[in-house]
Amino acid sequence: MKKLSFLFFLLASCYALAQSSFPHLEKSDHTTQLIVTGKPFLILGGELHNSSTSGTAYMHPIWEQMKKKNLNTVIAPVYWELLEPEEGQFDFTLVDSMLAGARKQNLHLVILWFASWKNGYSMYVPSWIKNNSDKYPRAKDENGKSLQQLSTFGEATANADARAFKALMNHIQEVDGKQQTIIMAQIENEVGLFYTPRDYSEAANKAHNNSVPAALMQYLISHKGKLQPELDSVWKANGYKTSGTWEEVFGKSIVDKKNWETLSYLTEELFTVYHYAKYIGNVAAAGKEAYPIPMYVNAWLKQPLTPIPGKYPAGGPTPHTLDIWRAAAPSLDLIEPDIYVPDATYTIEQYHREGNAIFVPEIRPGIRSADEVFWILGQHDAIGVSPFGIDDSKPEDDPITKTYAALTQVKDLILQHQGDGTMKGILVDTIKRSQEFDLAGYHIKAQLNSGSFAELAGFSVGEKKVGIAGGILINTGKDEFIAIGKDYTLTFNPIQDDGKSIDVEYFDEGTFANGKWVTMRRLNGDEGTGGGDYGFGFKQGNYGMIRFQPSPTDNYSIVRFKMYRYW
């Protein structure tokens, strides 16, 4: 008997050890990091187009291109219709070929489970689902008309999706559990209903007229005082009821088509979110039973032109519904935004809520996001970022190639400084030309460069006009900093005036080799510290200043510098 219990203990310990060595999220007080093969990992990603991994020949040359773009992770779909073309028969050929392609280039993968819903619609489900609306019912609009989208109330659909995903994760665990090429999974894609804020099928109507499920009520009660403000305010407005129908507990929704930020149809939205979250949470839980790596959902955003649930997919992971996702789908680790709005900052701030770390699975590609990426990583301790349609452009034409070239060098430094208050993201553009913040005893101002010194001095030819600058500033020691970026200037004002004057002690441009700083150039004079014939001119006030000079290659630089005092 003793021997048996020892064996059991040994097996349980081995299982626990194996689980903790799978890719997982590690949460501390101020940050959440993704751990891969035992070490923190920063995703420098790119998401492929929707159909790219449906054929191995198309992908053949792409893997190498991804490496040349300096990505470390490719985000790629797995399609239910191709994984389980016949019910119960699974074909893992495409998954295996993705693994082989990625591994050859030393890349990781985040997989996208395109299953019951992709951008709201149900077009990636196998034919045997598509052609059987009796068994796999569709959601209905207010007039009882079937929508293309599968209903979250279809029990057979929910089970079939969960079974297929579990088979996929089981396969991945078997073929990749050791190597850990696949590091996270996204469940479904931008879910939610169009045209209607909720499903009006018979089952949905019944659930809507019933009491709010006890488990959700319990969650609200036990998290009272810590709920997201939007949810708390409607619950409060209705007297913090501890039971009742959805409308009794959360009130009758308001509808305001003028102000896009109003949460119109909120009660319907919460109801719809709850049922998507339950369904997707079950899929994720089934997958985690086989292989417990981090799993998340992504959102089509509420935005000024599509401000109402149903105009944007109703039931998706909008930030104000975070608590409902947590209550109904504890197997999901994160809810994340797909960013196609002109400016990423508002969205990131909306999603970076207590315990919800930022990962950006999709952001519009191009010049702007190539700079925004620095701000997202530096300011919000993000797990990673990923421009969409990464297989569209050549490495030399895609601005993300240069961003990732710089970030590859500093990613370990960034990871070391996450959550300790020593790092800031910088983003300035022609609308918001400067940004101010306090760091390490300094009041710091970042400003978009308006031209090079040479241009200001009137002898440059063909200088580029700078439209945006992104960067990261890290405090690495007393008065010592590392900054990454280009096209911006930083001024440092001591917060406490000790009567001494301040200036730059040294300003070096360099790189990291095997984690160690290597100086390439000492920058001084015209190149950025304010001396020289056409330097900073007649300085007024007590500040030190460094400036990224335009480089002929337009690469981002990494600089290390220190402030000192004189008297």
CB of 332 to ligand DGJ, least distance (A): 17
Determine if 189 is a binding residue for ligand DGJ (CB under 6 A): yes
Q: Which CB sits closer to ligand DGJ, 77 or 378?
A: 77
Closest by CA to 449, choosing from 314, 326, 548, is: 548
Q: Binding residue for ligand DGJ (CB under 6 A) from 21, 40, 50, 439?
A: 50
R_g over Cα of the chain? 26
CA nearest neighbour of 197 among 302, 296, 335: 302
**C-beta closer to ligand DGJ: residue 363 or 415:** 363
Q: Which residues pair with 338 in a beta bridge?
A: 362
User: Considering the complex, what minimum distance in angstroms separates the CB of residue 139 from ligand DGJ?
Assistant: 19
347 binds ligand DGJ (CB under 6 A): no
Residues contacting residue 424 through CB under 8 Å, at least 6 positions apart: 378, 379, 437, 439, 444, 472, 473
Reference 490, options 435, 555, 414; nearest CA is 435
The amino acid at residue 424 is K
* β-sheet bridge partners, residue 436: 445
Query: Shortest Cβ distance from residue 293 to ligand DGJ (Å)?
Result: 20
What is the total count of residues that contact ligand DGJ (CB under 6 A)? 7
Which CB sits closer to ligand DGJ, 388 or 507?
388
* Nearest C-alpha neighbor of 195 from the set 353, 59, 48, 311: 311
Measured between alpha carbons, how far is 512 from 193 in angstroms, rounded to an integer?
A: 48
Least separation in angstroms between CB 156 and ligand DGJ: 26
Q: Among residues 77 and 471, whose Cβ is nearest to ligand DGJ?
A: 77
The site map against ligand DGJ for 284-303 (x = CB under 6 A) is --------------------
- What SS3 state is found at 239? coil
In this structure, the strands spanning 182-189 and 146-150 are unpaired
Q: Provide the mask over 399-418, with x wherever binding to ligand DGJ is found by CB under 6 A and - wherever it is not.
A: --------------------
Single-letter code of the amino acid located at 438: D
Nearest to 41 by CA among 90, 108, 104, 87: 108
- Least distance from ligand DGJ to the Cβ atom of residue 161, Å: 18
Contact status, residue 46 vs residue 390, Cβ threshold 8 Å: yes
Exactly one of 338, 371, 398, 526 binds ligand DGJ (CB under 6 A); which one? 338
Q: Which is nearer to ligand DGJ, 375 or 388 (CB)?
A: 388
Comparing CB distances to ligand DGJ, the nearer of 337 and 471 is 337
Tell me how far, at minimum, the Cβ of 47 lies from ligand DGJ, in Å.
Answer: 7
Looking at residues 100 to 139 of the shown chain, list those that interact with ligand DGJ (rule: CB under 6 A): 119
Choose, by CB under 6 A, the member of 161, 190, 268, 333 that binds ligand DGJ.
190
Cβ 93 to ligand DGJ, closest distance in Å? 22
What does each C-alpha distance from 465 to 80, 95, 431 come to in angstroms?
47, 45, 14
Amino acid at 404: Y
Q: Which is nearer to ligand DGJ, 22 or 388 (CB)?
A: 388
Q: How far apart are CB 199 and ligand DGJ at their closest, in Å? A: 21
> Given phi > 0 = left and psi -120 to 50 = alpha, else beta, which region is 106?
left
State which residue, 76 or 545, has the beta carbon closest to ligand DGJ. 76
Binder to ligand DGJ among 153, 165, 388, 488 (CB under 6 A)?
388
Q: What is the closest distance, in whole angstroms, from the C-beta atom of residue 559 to ligand DGJ in the complex? A: 36
306: contact with ligand DGJ by CB under 6 A? no
d(CA 265, CA 268): 5
**Cβ 361 to ligand DGJ shortest distance, Å:** 8
The smaller minimum CB distance to ligand DGJ, of residues 40 and 366, is found at 366
Q: Is 50 or 97 the residue whose CB approaches ligand DGJ more closely? A: 50
The DSSP annotation for 285-348 comes to HHHHHH----EEEEEPPPBTTB-SBTTBPBTS--GGGHHHHHHH-TT--EEEEEE-SS-HHHHH
Report helix, strand and coil shares of the chain as percent, to nearest 5.
35, 30, 40
Residue 362 lies near ligand DGJ (rule: CB under 6 A): yes
Contact 42, 383 (CB under 8 A): yes
The DSSP line for 34-53 is EEETTEEE-EEEEEPPTTGG
Q: SS3 for 441?
A: coil
Nearer to ligand DGJ, 148 or 450 (CB): 148
Q: Between 50 and 205, name the residue whose CB sits nearer to ligand DGJ.
A: 50
Q: Report the residue closest to ligand DGJ, judged by CB.
A: 190
Closest distance to ligand DGJ from the beta carbon of 277 (Å): 18
Interface with ligand DGJ, residue 455, by CB under 6 A: no
Tell the smallest beta-carbon distance from residue 537 to ligand DGJ (Å). Answer: 47
Three-state secondary-structure class, residue 79 = strand
Binding site for ligand DGJ (CB under 6 A): 50, 119, 189-190, 338, 362, 388
